[in-house]
Every structure is written in C-alpha cells, then in structure tokens.
Structure 1
C-alpha cells in the first residue's frame, strides 16, 4: 500500500511540475503556410507545412537540409544541429524535374573571340586592375582588383553591380563562371 501511495505521490508531483512549466512557457500564435520551394530551379515539396510567426517563416530544417543535399545530425545533449555535405555540388532531390547543377567555366580568351562583346583588362582610375565585360554599346560590368596569380586557384572579387564573382585562374588564364555571364546577359553559345 505504501508503494501505491508513493507511486501516486510521485505521479502527482511529476504532473504538477509539467503544469508549472506549461504555465511559465511563452505561447505564440502561428499560422501554417505553403510556399513554392525551388532548389536549383526545380520545384520541391515539403512534407511538413512551414509556420509563420510574426512575419518570420520557420521551415522544417531536416526536410530543407535533405532538399539541399545535406545530412542532418542532431545531438540532443548539446542541442546541436550539424549539417554536412560531402558532395561538390548540390543536386536536387527530384531528379526528374532538374538536372544536377554543374559549375561551368568560360575562359576570357574564348569570350574575347566572340563578336559583339566589349572586354578590357587594365588599370582603373584608382590604379587597380579592372576587368570590364559587357555587350558592345552597353554599360559593362566591372570586376575589381583582378591580378592573375602565379599559382592556379580561385578568388572572390567584387563587381560594379554591388555583387561578387568567383574567378578561376588556370595556367595563366582567367575563367569566369557561366552563372555570372548569365547574370550580366552574356550567353555562352
């Protein structure tokens, strides 16, 4: 009988502790929302609808990580979410709607051979090497502080459209990413 009373007392204690915690917890008003989610241009579907609280959207991190090609590990002891991606490029989960995005590079030499483009590399008014590229007769986009290094590699450079571009240097040549060329309206045919 004493064991039954002790068990009942313990159950009531645990139950009342939950009530105290619930009474001190903050409540928020949230609405479920449906968004169009695209990964590399391919529309994806979430199994769980996102929540919107005070104008901020909350998406299920495990699903979004999966859509982006990441693995998610959660450590409950430290409340740590660890996202890892061992792939070089993010591949959409739904392969039927989009091909994997592969980074394409175009050499500056190949671009200079194209008619209708204006390309210059030289010192700017401030004395730094600037690469200007655009269609003839239009305002070019400038890439600032372009210096070809002695070793191959990549470098992030700022541009005149207040963005940046990653340049690749290979064998003394400058290569530009096709997505940058698309951004400034130069198609690689």
Structure 2
C-alpha cells in the first residue's frame, strides 16, 4: 500500500511539476478544496496539514503530508527542479518499535492460545491418551465432545506453532 501511494504521489508530482514549468507557461485550472473529506491509511483517519484538493474528479493530497505519515522526507532540488523523496527519515528506532509491537502482539496471542489449549486439554484428558487409545483399558468412550475438542485442540496447536515461528523470526531481527 505504501509503495502504491508513493508511486501515485511521485507520478502526480512529476506531472504537476512538468505542467507548471512547461515552456508554454502556466495553465489555469479549476480546483475545489475538500477540508471535510476524510483520508484514511489502513483504516485510521489521517490528520493532514492541508485539505485535499479536487481537480477534474480526482483528489490530490499535499505530497509533504503523505510523506510525513509514510515516514518519507521530501526535498525540493532547485538546481534540477526536482521533487526528491527519500526514506532517510525512517529510523531504525521506528522499525525496532514496530518489530517490538508485533512481537508483543504475537506473544499475547500465544498466551491466549495457551489458555484455550489448556481448557481443551481438560476436556480431552478423561478420554485417555489423545489420538492413540483404542478404548480397552476403561477410559471414557470417545464421543462427539471428544472429537470436537480434539479438532479444536489440533487447530489451535497448529496456530500456536505458526506464532512461535513468527516470534522466533522477529526475535532474530532484533
């Protein structure tokens, strides 16, 4: 999504810069400010310094506003008449913060899964050894409750293994 927005903005910047500095001069356009138009990124409403502008049915945002929320820096190179975007403003601290947040979220998910797996284990235990017992030693006969709990147990165990793999990968990035 970031790459799409960045690509769109670079395209708009180049088009606008080319139109503004064309040899024929400036061209007058009709535009409308839309200060009440909400702009969202991943479902969260953005607070922009400038209002969105509508031109010929298309909505335009100030490049610096979008760059700020995406972690890019914007520079105007007067010598080359170029808008320059870079990710130099994105620090390792923000990347580490995101990694730490993801890690904490995954660890919390794992804790929740462990609780649910433990609850299912209590349902399955009276039936004997999970998945290997044939019913001859007096354990409770397996019924629909067992099979439902066992299926959920297996699914949650798989999810937990996937989360463990993600946690290991994120911890390796630190």
TM-score (norm: length of structure 1)? 0.37
TM-score (norm: length of structure 2)? 0.40
- In terms of fraction of residues, the more strand-rich structure is 1
- In terms of fraction of residues, the more helix-rich structure is 2
